[in-house]
Structure 1
Amino acid sequence: MAEPTYSLLDFSDLRGWSEDDHQEALDVFLTTCGDIEQHGWPALCDLASQGQEARAFFETFFTPVLIQDEQDMLFTGYFEPAIRGSRRQGGPYQYPLYRLPNDLEPPWLTRREIEESGVLDGRGLEIAWIDDPVDVFFLQVQGSGRVKLDDGSIVRVGYAGANGHEYSSIGSELVRRGIYKAHQVSADVIRSWVRRNPRDGQGLLWTNDSFVFFRELDDVPADMGPIGAMGRSVTAGRTIAVDPSITLLGSPVWIEKDGAEPINRLMVAQDTGSAIKGAQRADIFFGTGDAAGRAAGKVRDGGRMIVLMPIQNALALVPEIVE
């Protein structure tokens, strides 16, 4: 991948900037700003928490920076699944969510090797048993979710670790096999196909070598979003997942998503994902449950994202500006 290049922009260059709810964005920014340790940020966070007028705060202390690396912008969406399960195996509940084994040293076994070998059986690692293998798969892809247990209670689970193999898209695999066109593939389509073709469906899930382990999240209120990469709850419509090697986690990021349902909005980079690589790559968090999942599954759009950086940090990236 090419080395990133940096271009300084003005706020007037941002499509729809004046129409956004900057206070809503500032409120989300404040949930993780205090966790940024990079030079210059603590003072900004202190100012942000002192009742600043939101739009003026961003325009006064930040510079929009377009970061590019020769890859076209790609926006996708993610969500927090809400699935059915039980603490005990039985009836329809046959597909486990596992805790992280204490002897795992990535790269470990592939998804297929784990499930065929039974290497995790009998070790007491099961958090819950789920009634649909595709739900387990998508929960691993999303990295967190809620399980409604058969006793009426709810347990939230979050990412605890993985087997160290690269993620690969089963939707893309269905397209490669000629079963569907790219525009036809969605989570519901994949789920339906696997149910209609259980043997081939199992083989399809095994084409993704990555396997994710979970931990129970007991301290996240029900009205809050799942825990993101910064250890704080993410917010529907305001959180994006980014490549943290390029975009500093906690940064405000202006997005201009094209497509059937354009989005021009100030987001906060509070999460990461195994498939989120590159300067112009972002995953938008849509919320919890089936409706959020359907909305997230439709997103595969171009556009651009612009990181808001503290002014001095931005100028340091483009030194010829101050010569």
Structure 2
Amino acid sequence: MKNNLPATVRKKIVHKIVIPSVCLALLFGCAKNTDLAQQYSDQSFENTLNKTEAISSNTPRSFATFSQQAEQVVINSPSLATKYQHLYEQLNNWVLQSGRPEDLAGYGVQSAQLGGGDKKGNVLFTGYFSPVMELRHQADETFKYPVYGLPECVEECPTRAEIYAGALQGQNLELGYASNMIDPFIMEVQGSGFVHYDDDDTLQYFAYAGKNNKAYVSIGKVLIDKGEVARENMSLKAIKEWVMANDEQTVKSLLEQNPSFVFFAPKEDNAVRGTAGIPLLPLASVAGDRELFPMGTPILAEVPLINADGTWSGAHQLRLLIVLDTGGAVKDNHLDLYHGMGARAGTEAGHYKHFGRVWKLGLTGTPSESPWFTVTEAKLAEIEQPLVNDDK
């Protein structure tokens, strides 16, 4: 794709060039913050992706894990390496030689800032993790809740309530048995995770295999709507505490409010992999909307730093992240930050519902250039470019 798009394409794709506003109220500072880490200034955005001439950020920086995550992309995916390797190399050069956001353009790196749901640049960060679930190969009095592989159903798969009632019994789909109902449910929400078989002390990775094609309903929202948990207190920890305080039938009734059910496939490779098939590193990879972020896209993000109790610390940290995963609820101005494996990562991820500024990055003269285009817009430009050139 060329930098100078033909007029016919420019008429269809109009993007605002973002120029930081001059702060008039210097006495009170350019921006105000909130408890959820939003930052407000006079600047507003017209689009989801907004072409940016220069990035301005005084946020403390941490780029240590970017090169490792980029290396995993290059090693594991020749197609993504073809598209992004030169961009990754330039970003690594920038990290070593400068690290200042305002210098990125000097390395041929282009940027587009996300407008945020509020059109003020505040992008929602949530978190996810790889749980480690205790299973046994055979059911007993304690470990009696099955985790299932993918059944042979396409359109008429059973609902969660029907599966709990035994709709999949006798099909030899049981991958193991958990000691409670909530652990498998949480792994379904995460989409994959590790299991530890208690009876033979083995660790195995369960990858996403498919789902029953029923609509997803958030049990967190159900608890909020019923007044069981206050909206401001909602987290994975809060859900677990509610489960511990209620009997099995009450918990089952809550879980059945979500008819969607996820199935798993055991994998020999114990690396945690996202949609792109790349091993994920904690706090180096994110899930994003594929219409905005093709797999492998690097982003520069002011990531909100959270206290142990889930409150915002009052600070952000500038990080280079790579979009390597997707999620059904991760759309538009929403990113899901991977936190790692295990209970601690789960607690940290469960607290994440805060905001930060985000820039999508591309490299001039490579397939990643013009990051202000969505996937659909980029395809349109590629189709119409040769048509216009033929007229010359």
Q: TM-score with structure 1 length normalisation?
A: 0.85
Deviates more, 1:162-171 or 1:105-114: 105-114
In 2, the alpha carbon distance for the partners of 1:27 and 1:293 equals 22
Indicate how the Cα distance of structure 1 residues 251 and 33 shifts in structure 2: closer, same or farther if over 3 A, else same.
farther
Deviates more, 1:151-160 or 1:56-65: 56-65
Deviates more, 1:198-207 or 1:304-313: 304-313
Alignment partner of 2:129 out of 76, 79, 96: 79
- 1:218 correspondence with 2:272: no
Q: Match for 2:71: what amino acid?
A: L
- 1:133 correspondence with 2:181: yes
CA shift digits 1:227-262 (9 cap, x unpaired):
111112111011100011221110111122346143
Over the aligned positions, Cα root-mean-square deviation in angstroms equals 2.9
Q: Match for 2:114: what amino acid?
A: I
Alignment partner of 2:359 out of 306, 311, 318: 306
Match of 1:213, SS state, is strand
- 1:167 correspondence with 2:213: no
Alignment partner of 1:25 out of 57, 61, 66: 66
CA shift digits 1:151-184 (9 cap, x unpaired):
2111211101111123222111111101111122
Q: Match for 1:132: what amino acid?
A: N
8 Å contact from structure 1 (residues 108, 164) kept in 2: yes
Match of 1:314, SS state, is coil
8 Å contact from structure 1 (residues 36, 249) kept in 2: no
8 Å contact from structure 1 (residues 48, 57) kept in 2: no
Q: CA deviation at 1:314?
A: 1.3
Structure 2: segments with no counterpart, 5+ residues: 1-45, 307-311, 379-392
Matches within 5 A, 1:187-206: 187-197=236-246, 198-206=248-256
Alignment partner of 1:7 out of 46, 50, 53: 50
- 1:240 correspondence with 2:286: yes
8 Å contact from structure 1 (residues 145, 157) kept in 2: yes
In 1, the alpha carbon distance for the partners of 2:92 and 2:69 equals 14
Alignment partner of 1:88 out of 138, 147, 164: 138
In 1, the alpha carbon distance for the partners of 2:259 and 2:211 equals 10
In 2, the alpha carbon distance for the partners of 1:129 and 1:283 equals 29
Structure 1: segments with no counterpart, 5+ residues: none
In 2, the alpha carbon distance for the partners of 1:43 and 1:164 equals 33
CA shift digits 1:116-158 (9 cap, x unpaired):
2x22101111111111210010010011111111221112111
The corresponding residue for 1:45 is 85
8 Å contact from structure 1 (residues 169, 208) kept in 2: yes
In 2, the alpha carbon distance for the partners of 1:152 and 1:140 equals 23
Q: CA deviation at 1:89?
A: 0.8
Q: Equivalent pairs: percent with the same residue?
A: 27
8 Å contact from structure 2 (residues 116, 123) kept in 1: no
- 1:227 correspondence with 2:273: yes
In 2, the alpha carbon distance for the partners of 1:79 and 1:16 equals 25
In 2, the alpha carbon distance for the partners of 1:14 and 1:106 equals 49
Indicate how the Cα distance of structure 1 residues 12 and 48 shifts in structure 2: closer, same or farther if over 3 A, else same.
closer
